[in-house]
Copies of this chain bind each other. A is one copy, B any other.
Amino acid sequence: MARPLNVALIGQKFMGRAHSNAYAQVGHFFDVPLQPVRHTIAARNAEELAAFAERWGWQHHTTNWQDIAANDAIELVDVATPNHLHAEASIAMLAAGKHVLCEKPLAHTLEAARTMRDAAAAAQGKTFVWFNYRRCPAVALAYQLVRDGLLGEIHHVRGHYLQSWGGAQTPMSWRFKKSIAGSGAHGDLNAHIVDMARFLTGDEVAEVSGAIAKTFVTERSLPDGSGTEECDVDDACLFLTKFAGGAVGSFEASRVAPGHENRNTLELNGSKGSLKFDFEDMNVLSVFDGGDAPATRGWKRVMCTSGEHHPYAGQWWPDAHVLGYEHGFVNMLADVLVALDGGQPVVPLPDFDDAYQTQRVLEAALISATRGAAVPLDEVE
């Protein structure tokens, strides 16, 4: 019988729902060593909060997140607030002796991220960051295949995260303001593909060799029709990297790429083969194995839905039944519970230090875009 683990969640928007779902579902599909109890949810909008707590089965709710720190019954705190609030809440919870599970990106500035990393290093609690895509079965399989040597020496890392909702017709919101969001497509989308690149290659970016951050829509109408306001974040951000191990990388994030809804892709080319993931076809990993017989060699469309052969797939449905977006969160939560119980996750979990390394890369890219010059990662601490 799994020991109950009281959890608190801060935030009730998109991520609040995605995480609540993970807490509700994980015990249905995984034999978890700790059974998460939806103890307390905190958020600012009191009216919405009661209904949210009722719908998702949270036992308690509060508009004062500090209540959570003060409650000794709570062991794990999930921070799903806007980015600029991650640091304050996470550090307070670590100080209160909790484990912390924070949404990505780690923080809205590198400075804030550094304080979080340092707080984590000094704390007793464990830390985790919700880089959910690591736990799509296709991505976790890619991780295993790289370790098995399918790629040989890695030469190319190529990541795109393209969306299309950010055209001129989209009204002003906090996402277009630097003071709140930190950056635009860059922090939102490049964060995912930089994490995935580091995760899959096991290598680190040594230099950002060039970058462009571009705002195409410089002014947007206010939702209330009262006029327009300037946008000060990037709509798109592209950069090139050199990895410590010798690979070269290119990364691109955009909110203004029509035809791409959630085109989160990562491709690796090595001396022996290639791998490609595309979230719009998330149950598939594309594999090119240079060791296959030459006459019938080609990209393989691998449906990652075999319980026996593919990570996480066996927890869900019989073979060949596809998963969706939210399953990555449930898979990750299962691994977090295993880790809290002292076990090994299926594939490695990112902690605050790991997420801080990703943030350094993002920062280096912004510096490079501003400077018009290459930026060694060593300069960004």
Instruction: Please pick, from B141, B274, B286, B324, the residue contacting A324 in the complex, using a CB distance under 8 A.
Output: B324
Which chain B positions have C-beta within 8 A of A303? 261, 280, 298
Distance (whole angstroms) from the CB of A370 to the closest CB of chain B: 11
In the complex, the answer to whether A214 meets B248 with C-beta atoms within 8 Å is yes
Distance (whole angstroms) from the CB of A276 to the closest CB of chain B: 8
Q: What 1/0 mask marks residues of chain A from 73 to 105 whose CB sits below 8 Å from any chain B CB?
A: 000000000000000000000000000000000
In the complex, the answer to whether B250 meets A238 with C-beta atoms within 8 Å is yes
Contact-residue bracket for chain A: 35 or more
Least CB separation from A320: chain B residue: B261
Complexed CA–CA distance, A2 and B320 (Å): 36
Complexed CA–CA distance, A274 and B256 (Å): 10
Distance (whole angstroms) from the CB of A348 to the closest CB of chain B: 19
For the A-B complex with A155-B256, A259-B273 known, give 6 more contacts whose Cβ atoms are closer than 8 Å.
Answer: A155-B254, A259-B276, A295-B310, A296-B300, A297-B302, A298-B301
- Interface residues, chain A, CB within 8 Å of chain B? 14, 17-18, 20-21, 24-25, 27-28, 55-56, 141, 144-145, 150, 153, 155-156, 158, 162-163, 165, 167-168, 209-212, 214, 216, 235-236, 238-240, 242, 246, 248, 250, 252, 254, 256-262, 269-274, 276, 279-290, 292, 294-303, 305-306, 308-310, 316-327, 368-369, 372-374
**Closest 5 pairs (CB-CB, A-B):** A210-B210, A259-B288, A324-B324, A261-B320, A372-B374
